[in-house]
Amino acid sequence: MTAIDDRLDATFTALADPTRRAIVARLAQGDATVNELAGPFAMTLPGISKHLKVLERCGLISRTRRAQFRPCHLEREALDAAVDWIEESRRTWTERFDKLDEHLRELHNERFPTTGEQAHD
C-alpha cells in the first residue's frame, strides 16, 4: 500500500461519518470556529473536537490561531486525490459497461439477426 492509498483510506473513512461530512460541507462555505461548527449538532464540544481531529489528521481541515480563536479551514486540495480516484473509477467502470453493452448487443444480433434469418442453435 502506498502513501496515496493510505491518504485515500483516511479521507474516505473520515467522510464516511455524516457529522464529519456536514462539517466539511459547512467549511466549504468558509472558515468557522469549533463553537460555530458545533451549533447545528446535539453534541458536546469535546465530541465535535474529536470529529475535527479525525478531519485534521487526514488533512481535510487545518486549524489556525487568530488571537484567542482557532478557526477551522477546509483544505480543498486534500479532496483532490479522492475526487481524482472517483473520476478514474467512474471512467474505468463506464468503459467496462460500454464494452459489456457492445458484447451483449453482438450476442443479441447473433441470436436474433435483423435480416429475417433465424439463428441456428
Round to whole Å and give the CA distance between 9 and 3.
10
pLDDT at 99 over 90: yes
**The CATH number fitting domain 3-75, selected from 3.10.105.10, 3.40.80.10, 2.20.25.190, 1.10.10.10:** 1.10.10.10
Cβ neighbors of 22 (< 8 A, separation 6 or more) are 40, 41
- DSSP bridge pairs for 74: 61
Is residue 7 very low, low, confident or very high in pLDDT (cuts 50, 70, 90)?
confident
| pLDDT one-digit tens code per residue, 70-85 | 899 999 888 888 899 9
- Report the pLDDT value the prediction gives residue 116, as an integer from 0 to 100: 54
- Report the pLDDT value the prediction gives residue 12, as an integer from 0 to 100: 94
Map residue 62 onto helix, strand or coil. Answer: strand
User: Mean pLDDT over residues 35-64, rounded?
Assistant: 93
Amino acid at 107: L
| pLDDT one-digit tens code per residue, 13-45 | 999 999 999 999 999 999 999 999 999 998 999
